[in-house]
Amino acid sequence: MGTSLALGCCAVLVVGCGSADSDSLSEPSDPGGPAAQGPSAPGAEDTGLVADDPLVGGACSGQVAEETFASALCSCEDTNVAGYLRTRSHREDDAAGDLLASVGINRDYSTAGYANVGGSFTVAGTRDVLFGGLLSAGQDLLLQPAADVAGVVDVGRDAWLGNELRAFGRVAITRDLYADGGAGFRGIALVDVGGTRHTQDVAIEPPCACGSGELIDVAALVDEARQQNDNASIGLDPAELNVVAGIGAQITLPGGRYYVDQIAGIGGVELRVTGKTALFIGDDLLATGAFRVELEPDAELDVFVRDNLVITGAARFGDRERPSATRVYVGGTGDVAVAGYGAFVGNLYAPTANILVGGFGQIYGSLFGKNINAAGFLSVGYDAAIQTTGTECPPASADVPRIR
């Protein structure tokens, strides 16, 4: 969902950056029945072992990921960060071409620290925000609420203000400033606008795709995979990971679609992924022991959890050098806690769950949640390669099922 500007005689409708970073803002079957083997991509031999992206609904997994994880952080409701928020490329490259780590918040944002966002920064709620220092957006700044900034404001492209921004330091806007009547900058700041100042109605639309017909129906995808999967090709028993104990379990997953009832127990689980693979989990993923994903070069993994994701042990979902290669979709409503003392690697989609980030929250990938709450700092290293994961996919035969 890119940003569109609907210009009336003097009104502006602004849709934020929740799903695009560009120059334009752009009846489940009987669960007890046998699992049937099915091909994973059009034209594939009936072996389940394919080189193409596995199908998810009517689209390939790369297309789904590209559409879903186009921002570093998206919240359907609020985002609360006790410390600072920083988003950049996962390679820590601050070059202008890599400032693609946007943040979209459909309702309110609260913080006691600064915000340094590599891409666009959009807040569509109405509750005032107090920034404890720097407010920086490498691309566009779109704010509906009033805000106070006790420091520098730096905007790489345009600024859209639906209310007043009280600043007490330097303000630099590279291009244009669009401010609602009665809005704009207040305080003792020195405001430098490189382009044109516009006074007109400004309405910041919710940037993240969380409305009716927009949320991915993870439960429907898992229910389908329970009956249509490639388990038989590798001899995978759906109950194999129900209760893992002792030395744990190691499973190799070639390219294809696989289904397990759940992942639970106190033993370790290691998934060795050798191709483009989708794993569907019929209940919860409970990572209470050591949970580890090992990706071979060019391998990718999409995990669909019908219910809840619970991480209480040491978990590693992906490769820090390739965060875009791991995507986790959660359909439950239970809180998901990530990145305590260790970094979370991967792209997490949990639009009906709260995502809790403890300690120094280091994310390599992206977060999409109902509410995102960080008890300390939150730093997101975004892998922009995820925006091209669907490039080689065939045309989708149908849209991914959505919750309506």
Contact 40, 59 (CB under 8 A): no
pLDDT at res. 5: 33
**Residue 250: is its pLDDT beyond 60?**
yes
Helix (H) or strand (E) holding 136: strand 135-137
Q: Which residue has the tokens 């003097």?
A: 10
CA-nearest of 304, 316, 300, 151 to 219 is 304
pLDDT at res. 189: 78
Q: In this structure, how many other beta carbons lie within 10 angstroms of the beta carbon of residue 154? A: 18
Model confidence band, residue 275 (pLDDT cutoffs 50, 70, 90): very high
Contact 273, 299 (CB under 8 A): yes
pLDDT at res. 89: 87
Residue ranges of domains in the chain: 82-205, 219-388
**Residue 9: is its pLDDT beyond 60?**
no
Top-confidence residue, 30 or 125? 125
Average pLDDT over every residue of 37-51: 37
Taking only the tens place, the pLDDT of each residue in 346-394 is 999 999 999 999 878 899 999 999 999 999 899 999 999 999 998 888 8
Beta bridge partners of 204: 14
Top-confidence residue, 279 or 10? 279
pLDDT at res. 175: 98
Considering only 136-140, 304-308, 312-316, 374-378, which range has the smallest mean pLDDT? 312-316
pTM of the full predicted structure?
Answer: 0.87
3-state helix, strand, coil in the chain (%, to 5): 10, 45, 50
Top-confidence residue, 50 or 6? 50
**Residue 1: is its pLDDT beyond 50?**
no
**Residue 43: is its pLDDT beyond 90?**
no
